[in-house]
């Protein structure tokens, strides 16, 4: 995919070890520094999957500053889903039957000092371009809530239970040792839609706007102090109006 510019920002794929290192540094600032870990200026968030992934960088054109990044792992189909990061935490046996190109999107983060909606628009425009060019039929990943207390996210979880659970044929099953089964625990709770969407993580809101769906449980990640849900979106199921908007942004 060729680099492209949207307003103040440019999206491009990492090309060098220095590019990947910069992304790992931003990830550390977003996912680990917030937990109060002392910073010596050189710490990185890295794992073995980084070598298998493509890394998307969103930079401010004027300064070259990295403001957002994510990585993505292309798969030929569901038969390869065991390679994914998500497969460490969810039983994805049902998705092995998915017959079409897939992409796992992960480690999505925006620099904590930046608050500009155009950043996430540029990030999604870049992924839209890749999806169209590669003929991807499903996009999936883990969407995280900050904090590990279920009650803090109960309104959002109730909304996910009410409207956004995965189709039974693709439903991820429990694998991780510590989970919150929100679909069961909150089965009688009716969400307040405005409060629920206001408390939904931005990445997850984007998935849901595309017709995305989630697992019926959240995995508790004590090391990062988050709770995450498996999230998937079938490209052909994206509402036409949303698809037009995404492609117009990526054009």
DSSP letters for 34-94: GGT----S------GGGGGSEEEEEEETTT--EEEEEEEEEESSGGGGGGSSGGGTEE-GG
The yes-or-no verdict on residue 67 having pLDDT over 80 is yes
Residue 44 CA to residue 75 CA, distance in Å, equals: 26
* Region of residue 70 (left: phi > 0; alpha: psi -120 to 50; beta: else): beta
Q: Where are the beta strands (DSSP E) in 125-217?
A: 138-146, 173-174, 179-180, 213-214
Q: Which two tokens stand for residue 21?
A: 């290192």
CA distance 70 to 108: 4
Question: What are the pLDDT digits (tens) for 98-122?
Answer: 999 999 999 999 999 998 989 999 9
**DSSP code for 6:** E
Please report which confidence band the pLDDT of residue 15 belongs to, taking 50, 70 and 90 as the band edges: very high
DSSP 16: S
For 32, 80, 100, 129, 213, the CA distances from 173, given in Å and listed in that order, are 28, 17, 21, 31, 14
Residue among 141, 151, 138 at smallest CA distance from 97: 138
pLDDT higher than 80, residue 149: yes
pLDDT score recorded for residue 248: 83
Please give the mean pLDDT across all residues of the chain: 94
SS (H, E, C) 159-218: HHHHHCECCHHHCCEECCCCEECHHHHCCCCCCCHHHHHHCCCHHHHHHHHCCCEECCCE
Task: Give residue 4's pLDDT.
Answer: 86
List phi, psi (to 5°) of 36. Answer: 85, 15
Residues ≥6 apart with Cβ < 8 Å to 17 = none
For the chain, the first-to-last Cα distance in angstroms comes to 13
The confidence score (pLDDT) of residue 177 equals: 96
Q: Could you give the CA distance from residue 214 to residue 195 in angstroms, rounded to a whole number?
A: 19
Give me the CATH number covering residue 102.
3.40.630.30
pLDDT band at 247 (very low <50, low <70, confident <90, very high): confident
The tokens 């983060």 sit on which residue? Answer: 109
Number of structural domains (the chain) is 1
Rounded Cα distance, 114 and 6, in Å: 16
Range of the domain at 205: 4-250
CA 90 to each of CA 68, 105, 154, 231: distance values in angstroms, whole numbers, following the listed order: 26, 15, 21, 11
pTM (two decimals): 0.93
């Amino acid at each position: 995919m060729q680099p492209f510019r949207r307003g103040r920002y440019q999206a491009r794929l990492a090309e060098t070890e220095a590019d990947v290192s910069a992304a790992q540094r931003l990830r550390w600032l977003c996912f680990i520094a917030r937990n109060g870990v002392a910073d010596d200026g050189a710490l990185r968030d890295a794992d073995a999957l980084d070598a298998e992934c493509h890394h998307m960088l969103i930079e401010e054109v004027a300064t070259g500053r990295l403001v957002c990044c994510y990585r993505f792992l292309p798969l030929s189909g569901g038969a390869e889903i065991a390679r994914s990061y998500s497969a460490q935490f969810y039983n994805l046996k049902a998705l092995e039957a998915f017959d079409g190109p897939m992409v796992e999107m992960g480690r999505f983060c925006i620099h904590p000092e930046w608050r500009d909606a155009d950043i996430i628009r540029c990030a999604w425009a870049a992924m839209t371009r890749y999806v169209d060019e590669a003929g991807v039929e499903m996009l999936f990943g883990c969407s995280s809530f900050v904090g590990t207390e279920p009650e803090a996210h109960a309104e959002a979880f109730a909304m996910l239970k009410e409207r956004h659970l995965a189709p039974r044929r693709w439903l991820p099953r429990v694998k991780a040792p510590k989970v919150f089964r929100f679909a069961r625990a909150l089965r009688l709770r009716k969400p307040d839609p405005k409060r629920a969407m206001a408390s939904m993580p931005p990445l997850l809101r984007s998935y849901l706007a595309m017709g995305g769906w989630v697992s019926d449980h959240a995995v508790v990640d004590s090391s990062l102090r988050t709770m995450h849900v498996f999230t998937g979106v079938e490209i052909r199921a994206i509402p036409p109006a949303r698809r037009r908007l995404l492609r117009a942004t990526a054009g």
